Amino acid sequence: MNHKILIISILLSICSSVSSQEVYYHTSNQDIYEFLDEFANIGVIELNATVKPYSRVFIADKLQEIQESDYSLNKRQQAELDFYLKDFNKELQPTYNRKNKNFDKRFDILYYKDSLFTFSVNAILGAEYFMNDSGNFYHRWNGAEAFAYIGDHWGFYASLRDNHESEILTREDYLTPRMGANYKNNEGGGDFSEMRGGLTYAWDWGSFGIVKDHFEWGNNYNGANIFSGRTPSFAHIKLNLKPVDWFEFNWVHGWLVSEVIDSASTMVFTNAYGTDRREQMFDKYLAANLFTFKPFKNFYISAGNSVIYSADGPQLEYLIPVMFYKSVDHTYNATDKSGRNVGQNSQMFFDVSSRNIKKVHLSATLFVDELSTSRFTNDTVWNFYSLKTSMRISDLIPNTFITAEYTKSMPLTYKHNIPTTTFESNGYNLGHYLMDNSQEIYVSALVKPFRTLSLKLSYLHTQKGKDYDELGGSRLGNPYMDSVEWENKTIAFRASYQVINDGYIFLNYVHSDISGDLDKYTAPVFHGKQSTISLGANFGF
């Protein structure tokens, strides 16, 4: 069956009599995510933060829960709640028209709502200017975003931004949590654009979407290690089901960018402009699922698996959401008659999140790239995995948030020896930004003295060992961090203030000491010891 027909058939087969709609709120606007996290930590709301982004309706419902709770908000919390409701009351208020004089709403360039149709449009404009010993450089972006609801179930959204960096700040190998980019040129800086958007259908216990966007899997405060959302956005279909309070299911099937040229499909042509060629990349796909259980209040256990595969079009076996894909791969691929590996690239992951200690969020995430039980009793070889542990303490001191996080990734985690099935899209790792054979210690103290003003002091210590994938040789028994090939010690201070909804001014001071293989892992403007000051403003992200 043609995969487009299959997708449409699944979408049209979903029906419900209950009103619900979804458009996704991008994780780059972190403040609202921090706000919900705070109230989950103090026990006012329950929050499964394993999968992001949240939808606007989900955020609105949580804000309403906070508003209707009997918890006594302090002055800053109440001011922030009122501030965010100016945006998300679009999802909470009844039909809006010119006669409704009490609709307390944020500034929008265009907003319309009636009994059938809701439509919102806003501009995107921002700039950040950097200064350090390497010189002055900047990043600017502009564009527009819109979302709409039609009827009781349909949601649409689109977001387009053009970017220019006077110095290229991120590449596939750079060890930075900055969002990846597919640059259109490399001279005099870099230009890139990012188009996101989607079509969704939602009902009271689930949703289905066809989107091109970012997503994160795994609890974290400084970069997820299952799916980090750091690659340029890619198209995917997504399914979310929550039929009962204690169970949630998420599934995605993505169309990745392999950047591996299929020479058999390369076309050479001649026209009035001369002879040229058009190259075509191998197809590359992702299928992933995540089962989340809540055995008791404020405690979530998640388990799932994924597969990266390359084939001539999406394969039906990987379009079945509930599969254990490694076993599926053994059936369809495994090895050929000569014993050579012709399989795909599969992974497993687990996540535990607890807010059972009031004001404390504890979480742990395990990403397993390759697992063999025989290695448990063999001290000369190791399984390939990445482990992240996190803790945040909220409001123990009013309006103060303390975070500590540790990440360890074993050699060759996230790596694969077949170019068409690497754990990447556009060359960027889908998982943790440090990739394999690495570790990270992150601590921060965040203070919010009044409405939407954030003052954060953080310390980061990251280390990267040998790149065994580049060195070649045996893929087993490679020692973890037997030498440090790259290291980053950074103390940072950030002050940001949201003047109006989605309108920010910010100032950063970063003292970094980065050493080792700088040409490979670090943008030239950040080499060595640097004290970098940056300031900027933006409306939208």
User: pLDDT tens string for the chain (541 positions)?
Assistant: 455 455 445 444 444 434 568 999 999 999 999 999 999 999 999 999 999 999 999 999 999 999 999 999 999 999 999 999 999 999 987 655 544 545 689 999 999 998 899 999 999 999 999 999 999 999 999 999 999 999 999 999 999 999 999 999 999 999 999 999 999 876 678 999 999 999 999 999 999 999 999 999 999 999 999 999 999 999 999 999 999 999 999 999 999 999 999 888 888 888 888 888 888 899 999 999 999 999 999 999 999 999 999 998 999 999 999 999 999 988 887 665 555 556 799 999 999 999 999 999 999 999 999 877 767 767 777 889 999 999 999 999 999 999 999 999 999 999 998 999 999 999 999 999 999 999 999 999 999 999 999 999 999 999 999 999 888 888 888 999 999 999 999 999 999 999 999 999 999 999 999 999 999 999 999 999 999 999 999 998 8
Residue 322 lies inside a defined structural domain of this protein: yes
Residue type, 81: L
Residue 448 lies inside a defined structural domain of this protein: no
Residue 217 lies inside a defined structural domain of this protein: yes
In 3D, which of 6, 1, 4, 20 has the Cα closest to residue 241? 20
Residue 536 lies inside a defined structural domain of this protein: no
The residues pairing with 149 across neighbouring beta strands, listed in sequence order, are: 118, 155
- The count of domains in the chain is 1
- The residues, ordered by sequence, that sit 6+ positions from 23 with a Cβ below 8 Å of its Cβ are 55, 56, 147, 148, 149, 155, 156, 157, 198, 200
What φ, ψ does residue 323 adopt, rounded to 5°? -75, 150
- The residues, ordered by sequence, that sit 6+ positions from 122 with a Cβ below 8 Å of its Cβ are 108, 109, 110, 144, 145, 146, 502, 539, 540
Residue 252 lies inside a defined structural domain of this protein: yes
Contact yes or no for 368/374 (Cβ under 8 A): no
DSSP string, 210-235: EEEE--EES--SS--SSB-S-SPPEE
What pLDDT shows up at residue 95?
58
- The residues, ordered by sequence, that sit 6+ positions from 327 with a Cβ below 8 Å of its Cβ are none
**Rounded Cα gap, residues 215 and 207, in angstroms:** 15
Task: Determine if the peptide bond prior to 53 is cis (ω within 30°).
Answer: yes
Residue 162 lies inside a defined structural domain of this protein: yes
Residue 370 lies inside a defined structural domain of this protein: yes
CA 234 centroid distance within chain: 12
Task: Provide the residue range defining the domain that includes 41.
Answer: 3-269+276-332+342-390
pTM of the entire predicted model: 0.92
What pLDDT shows up at residue 343?
74
